[in-house]
Structure 1
Amino acid sequence: MKVAVLGAGAIGAYVGAALHRAGVEVSLIARGPHLEAIRTSGVRVLSPRGDFTAHPHATDDPREVGPVDHVFLGLKANGYASAGPMIEPLLHEATSIIAAQNGIPWWYFHGLKGPYEGYRIESVDPGGAVTAALPLDRAIGCVVYAATEIKEPGVIRHLEGTRFSIGEPTGTPTGRCAEFSDAAVAGGLKCPVEPDLRRDIWIKLMGNIAFNPISALSRATMAGICRHHGARELVRAMMRETVEVARNVGCDPGISIERRLRGAEKAGEHRTSTLQDLEKGKPMELDVLLAAVVELADLTGAEVPTLRAIHAVSDLLNENLVRTG
């Protein structure tokens, strides 16, 4: 089995190192000092589960890799639309694209029976640009329950969690999901194949949709947000509205808001990925988190005043970031 990791940052390099440890032929596609460090010394993973070093092939040119069986996307979702030229050299007729993203994916209504089957979410897939780059029939969803960071080029600090839930948009079990899952498990990860990955998507999104933009607006950690009474109530309101939208499109997350809050609180003084992007001057990944849910609220008639307000101010912050960056 051949796997290419496109966007071998903190999560991508961690997954690639685990797969390589399992004997998979892995190629990491990265750039800059991180790429040079991997070429020289491999990927060093520092983890409470045990440190290890892997030496997968690493390059900045997908043409050097050629067609593979699975492409694992470690890119931010706001980079998907422009990923076509990097993806194309990696594809053969049956290559899957496993997208490890936060928020609502571009394939969400693909193969989903019901009144919205085939609906394209404009805020996630503007003009169909993401679908053009990442064909729907190649998509395998992936919800990440792991926290990692790049400690220094070539060195990944694994903080917690090893679960990467995957699943077909149709919910049908397939050999390609089973193949990737088996390899990931052999490399030390948890990789269940879920018959209803959309439920996982909404459970994780309940936290991301609230904590990520609030952290960027306030510069607070997850624990700091939870400690502040007003902010905690804001999170509750955003979660309630998110659950209503999920139910309107046919998915009940099946988890209480209080339980989801407690789970987020356990993350402690964690700075969300959105806050980290802001601090680095990078565009924030808000469309798939907030804009998509507001769009689905409009589609289904849900009332989401809190989500609209937070989306407006965080989007303004993002526009200013892009303009001055």
Structure 2
Amino acid sequence: MHVVVIGAGAIGSYVGAALAQSGHDVTFLARPAQCEALRVHGLKYDTANGQQSVSVKVVSQAQDLRLADFVLVCVKSADTDQAGRDLIPALQPSTVIFSLQNGVENVQSLETVIHRPVVPVAVYIAVSMLAAGHVVHHGGNRLVMGEADTTETSANNAALFAQAGFAVTVSSQIMTVLWEKLMVNCAYNGLSALSQMPYARMMQTDGVQDVMVTLVQECQAVACALGIPSSPDFMTNLLTIASAMPEQMSSTAQDLRRGKPTEIEALNGYIVRKGRELGVVTPANQVILVLTRLAEQSHCLAR
């Protein structure tokens, strides 16, 4: 199968590498610097089993894409509309498009641009970029995807990733899944970014757990106003993530460290905006949003 991956960041690189390693023909649409690294050195990925490298095709211009069987959108939320325009040359009637992105608005944004259904995928994989074309896997291999129009198509979609070694679940409640992933991001990402601490060390600081609970309670209030339920054990599970991935730094923390724009607007920012629309107060999320905006500016100025 020909798989096109839009975005060669940490998630796109790791999932694309696994698909290529399992025998699929993988093409990345990536920025010029990433293209150069991938062409010269291949895609390197570090796991608990050591470092491996796989050859992949790469283009920097959307018009150079070939028709694809599957397209994976793995860009930051702010780049979603452009990604939708970029993937159009790869589409044929049978192409399946997946969104492997943080946030809850990306699928609708993509569908508005391409006028095609998009399958949402919640990603539970801890990875980071060591350099362009070099991704490091820290833990986790779970994907939860939405249902397709038929049971057979859903099974085929899941098989694409399962055959590459991922633990895949197809959920009939994908919006609840995406919202719970959003709430995890709202609880961990900003605090990890502002402190520049890995999860376990961050959680050792007095008061952090209380702040995280408050952030999530605000998120749950917004979700409830939208008619989206949370699992009864969600809060308990939330607080175990740090022990499961003690050395993990959030993607927001990694972006800040590199002087890159973060996804805070699609995370805590979304909660604040939606809360205002619905008349739900979200002061803790507002504080995380504003402090992260300030940190973005100071990190960019420092560079």
- Code of the residue aligned with 1:244 in structure 2: it is A
State TM-score, norm by structure 1: 0.83
1:133 aligns with 2:113: yes
Show the counterpart of 1:88. Answer: 88
Alignment match, 2:74: 74
Determine the structure 2 residue equivalent to 1:276. Answer: 254
1:26-54 CA distance string (max 9 Å, x none):
21222345433332343233212565432
* Alignment correspondent of 1:143: 122
1:309 aligns with 2:287: yes
Q: What does residue range 285-324 of structure 1 map to in structure 2 within 5 Å?
A: 285-318=263-296
- Distance (Å, rounded) in 1 between the aligned partners of 2:297 and 2:199: 24
Query: How many angstroms does 1:175 deviate by?
Result: 4.4
Per-residue deviation at 1:273? 0.8
**In 2 relative to 1, CA 46–300 (structure 1 residues): closer, same or farther, beyond 3 Å?**
same
Shift of 1:172: 5.1
Change over 3 Å in CA distance of 1:287–1:153 after alignment to 2 = closer
The answer (yes or no) to whether the contact 1:95–1:138 under 8 Å persists in 2 is no
CA RMSD of aligned residues (A): 2.5
The answer to whether 1:230 aligns with 2:207 is: yes
Which one-letter code corresponds to 2:13 in the other structure? A
User: CA distance change for structure 1 residues 303 and 172 in 2, over 3 Å: closer, same or farther?
Assistant: farther
Provide closer, same or farther for how the CA distance between residues 66 and 196 of structure 1 changes in structure 2, counting only shifts above 3 A. Answer: same
Could you say what secondary structure the match of 1:201 adopts? helix
Distance 1:177 1:41 in 2: 35
Change in Cα spacing, 1:19 to 1:307, as seen in structure 2 (3 Å) is: same
Of 228, 245, 254, the match for 1:251: 228
2:102 maps to 1:102 = yes
Segments of 5+ residues of structure 2 without an aligned counterpart are none
1:12 Cα deviation from its structure 2 partner: 1.0
Structure 1: which 5+ runs fail to align? 109-124
Task: Supply the distance in 2 between the matched residues of 1:209 and 1:256 (Cα, whole angstroms).
Answer: 14
The answer as to 2:14 corresponding to 1:4 is no
Q: Which residue of structure 1 aligns with residue 23 of structure 2?
A: 23
Aligned to 2:245, the other structure's residue is in SS state: coil
Which stretch shifts more, 155-164 or 83-92? Answer: 83-92
Is the 1:45–1:155 contact (alpha carbons within 8 Å) kept by the matching residues of 2? Answer: yes
Give identity over the alignment, percent.
28
Cα distance change on mapping 1:185 and 1:265 into 2, 3 Å:
same
When residues 143 and 232 of structure 1 are mapped into structure 2, their CA distance, relative to the original with a 3 A threshold, is same
Distance in 1 (CA, whole Å) between partners of 2:301 and 2:113 is 26
The one-character-per-residue Cα deviations of 1:299-319 (angstroms, maximum 9, x if unpaired) are 333332222232233234445
Instruction: Pick the aligned partner of 1:196 from 166, 173, 177.
Output: 173
What is the count of residue pairs matched by the alignment? 302
> Of 197, 213, 238, which aligns to 1:260?
238
**2:162 maps to 1:185:** yes
Q: In 1, Cα distance between the equivalents of 2:272 and 2:128?
A: 30
Contact residue 29 and residue 59 of structure 1 kept, 8 A: yes
Using the TM superposition, give the Cα deviation of residue 4 of structure 1 relative to its aligned residue in structure 2, in angstroms: 0.1
Aligned to 1:48: 48
Residue matched to 2:184: 207
Query: Does the CA contact (< 8 Å) of 1:206 and 1:239 recur in 2?
Result: yes
